[in-house]
Amino acid sequence: MAHQVGNIDFRRHLDRSFWSATLVMGVISAILMALVVIWPINDTLAAASDTAHTIDPIFKFMLFFAAPIFVYVNGYVIYFARRYKHRASEPADAVGIPLHGVTSLEIWWTVLPTVLMVVLGIWSAIGLFALYKPQPGALNLESIGHQWSFEFRYPGLKKSFYGNPYVPVDKPVTLNITSADVIHSFWVPQFRIKLDMVPGMVQQLHFTPEKIGVYPVICTEYCGVGHGDMQTTIHVVSQADYNAWLAGMQQKEQTAQAQGPNLAAGDPDKGKQIFAQKCSVCHNIAPFAQKKVGPGLQNIFDDPQHPKLVDGAAATPANVAHILQTGYSGDIGVMPNAQANGLSSGDIADLVAYLKSQSK
């Protein structure tokens, strides 16, 4: 027969020691909960849009209740481990109190968390519908994800551009997002919102920027080897600065270059640097078969086994310049075009010159 140390009547264990421990945990919880309430999230991560103000309070609400749950679970584990530790002086077969359950307690700790989840659910549902709601008079923009850059279309600009979008502060925006190839995602941490850029489908992000500044736009859905570098920045500016920027973009469109790159003026040393920065993720200067993602380019102009480029054109400097300009997308893979890669005409000329210098 086993010895019993401790009393069957469990209420004897709800003694001073137990309640003191519970009180201490309560005080620690209260301190943490107070810190959650007064913590200014915006000092750690700027809240630059109305959507941030929808989302941050829900996060705080959850953190507020997470604190006592965390403190009490850990606290009671530590307290019970110390108080009820089996001492070497006790019989080896000592057992604890034969308590199989306390129905009223079990009801409470089922009902209270359910109530908490219902409250959280209702608040989150309100937030969910608010985030999906288009705002009247919104500036309608488009962003198309590519491997590995963001393309933007604006009303008032005939052509799209790759790079940094500008938006005027305090004006609602509807950003229509999709993808030209694989799934990407459009996340601005300071706006607290992201949605996936899905090929074949358009999703809408609705937000009103509230704080002038420059914020990162980050791709958050794995999209291939360039995923880690797929970022740009969104500029929230005053209405006047926005108008000036838009006018400047329209100006650039009108005076866009018609002629192609001047291959004779290409600088192979500059081309080498550009190659290292922009091409070496997928290509190397090596024989064709030594692929990284794309083929080795050492003998691109002079390889009897591979006289054509991937788009079927003969491997001449002019055609290489062309494919760098237009990019390539097909069954065997994707190469970003000049705009996505941020290559100017001069850059293309430099790259062609570099590739010529490497060809044996």
Minimum Å gap between C-beta 283 and other proteins is: 12
Minimum Å gap between C-beta 8 and other proteins is: 9
62 versus 138: smaller Cβ distance to other proteins: 62
37 versus 201: smaller Cβ distance to other proteins: 201
Length of the chain: 360
Residue pair 209/49 in contact by the 8 Å Cβ criterion: yes
233 versus 319: smaller Cβ distance to other proteins: 233
Place of tokens 């799209």: 160
70 versus 328: smaller Cβ distance to other proteins: 70
3-state class of 217 per DSSP?
strand
Minimum Å gap between C-beta 322 and other proteins is: 24
Minimum Å gap between C-beta 93 and other proteins is: 4
Residue 235, judged by CB atoms within 10 A of its CB (0-12, 13-18, 19+), counts as middle
Minimum Å gap between C-beta 355 and other proteins is: 21
Q: Which of 142, 156, 139, 152 is nearest to 250 (CA)?
A: 156
Joined tokens for residue 301:
């102009």
196 versus 210: smaller Cβ distance to other proteins: 196
Residue 213, judged by CB atoms within 10 A of its CB (0-12, 13-18, 19+), counts as middle
101 versus 304: smaller Cβ distance to other proteins: 101
Q: Compute CA distances 102 → 10, 20, 56, 99, 105, whole Å.
A: 10, 22, 38, 8, 5
Minimum Å gap between C-beta 201 and other proteins is: 6
The residues, ordered by sequence, that sit 6+ positions from 95 with a Cβ below 8 Å of its Cβ are 2, 3, 4, 5
